[in-house]
Structure 1
């Protein structure tokens, strides 16, 4: 369970709105740039200019690429407090990925030059951006470590634990993940197959550790789920 425990200290959900409340000028900038996207809407596509950066206020945003056979590959599932399109800060190259609203979402949209100006004038925003990006790098490093050293079952369970920590809602002794993603998306994010994800989730359900349907996933015994990380497959 070592990797899972080490991962959670930086995976806390960054509360963008509360951070902005300490700085009214920055808050006005962010709220004035809010845009709503409906489920399925594309925010940007491959080959578009990298000239905008986005902060998520609500919802979930799917980041992915397309293989040569046009198969969709999901590389990240972002939520409230996350930033995406950040390549705009360091390069003017065309985008290589896409961003799509996984559910109805609301984001703040900044042009490259406007956000750079805001960071130069506001240390709070610069710190917030660096914190978000630092979390992203650490999470990607742990994902790479998991791919190299962990089996499929462990990767799927660690994904569930990280998801609970970031966005799970506690209900008594249980935790709920609402608007949970599809088995195929979990497979893409853990480099497994949809069939493997379904098998692992069904096994966990049969052990009464989780329950799930198309709209939510309920963790009934978090400690038992954690204990499976070091258990034999």
Structure 2
């Protein structure tokens, strides 16, 4: 009697279904997924939507340190010995998020090479992104940092099609992400719109031509005494 071969493990299907140690939740805009200081006992997988990751200092200053989207994991620090969350994660728009209990994700990482490959690829991508962010902060102007952030939010350069219209996001949040002031963000957003790189239509529509800001130096649009130079 022939023995039926075990079907190959489908990591995406595994993450799309409720099961042992897995639950799926819907989050509305600004709803908190987990809070800084909470017990770190699970990993989350973003099926749909975008979230922001923020950290609050002992002095009460808040900083946005990352924005994550579809197919990203968050909260994986619990697998490296973190017992408490070191950041707060909240939805930027309507989200569908899978919660994997620590024991459940450790089990599937151990048993299923296909899932391990998916998770390792995520970790490597995140590491590269952190390195790029650091280089961006050290060497690029605020104009280029803003252009890069908008392109990342629109998924340019990621697998699959870009999402040219990104959810409405405040200029204060954009300023926190790139380490500048809201007024500088406002100035550059107006500049990008005048040059046809972006449009406002409920959300922010990002055109691929915005890549020109990163790849080439663009002529400045004069606006009174304001210049592209700012103290770092």
Tell whether 2:165 aligns with 1:177.
yes
Relative distance call for 1:102 and 1:199 in structure 2 (3 A) is same
Deviates more, 1:208-217 or 1:49-58: 208-217
Distance 1:29 1:221 in 2: 35
Task: Give the aligned CA root-mean-square deviation in angstroms.
Answer: 2.6
How far apart, CA to CA, are the structure 2 residues paired with 1:229 and 1:86?
A: 38
Return 182-191 or 137-146, whichever deviates more. 182-191
1:217 aligns with 2:205: yes
Equivalent of 2:186 in 191, 198, 217: 198
Worse-matched range after superposition: 218-227 or 82-91: 218-227
More helix by share: 1
**Cα shift at 1:107:** 1.0
Which residue is 1:126 aligned to?
116
For structure 2, list consecutive stretches of 5 or more residues without a partner in the other structure: 1-6, 221-227
Which whole-Å CA distance do the structure 1 matches of 2:46 and 2:39 have between them? 20
Distance in structure 1 (CA, Å) of the matches to 2:206 and 2:151: 12
- Alignment-derived partner of residue 59 in structure 1: 49
Runs of 5+ unmatched residues, structure 1: 1-20
Cα displacement (A) at 1:114: 1.0
Q: In the TM superposition, what whole-angstrom CA distance separates every residue of 1:50-101 from its partner, at most 9, and x where no partner exists?
A: 1110010001111111134534311111100100001011114211210111
Change (3 A) 1:184 1:25: closer
Q: How does 1:66-145 map to 2 (within 5 A)?
A: 66-145=56-135
Call closer, same or farther: CA 1:28–1:146 in 2, change over 3 Å: closer
Distance change in 2, residues 1:231/1:51 (3 Å): farther
Residue 27 of structure 1 is matched in structure 2 by 13
Choose the corresponding residue for 2:38, options 48, 51, 55.
Answer: 48
SS of the equivalent of 1:211 reads strand
CA distances 1:103-129 after superposition (whole Å, capped 9, x unpaired): 110111011111000111111111100
The number of equivalent residue pairs is: 209
Structure 2 equivalent of residue 153 of structure 1: 143
Greater mean alpha carbon deviation, residues 131-140 or residues 192-201:
192-201
TM-score by length of 2: 0.79
Higher RCO (CA 8 Å, separation ≥ 6 residues):
1
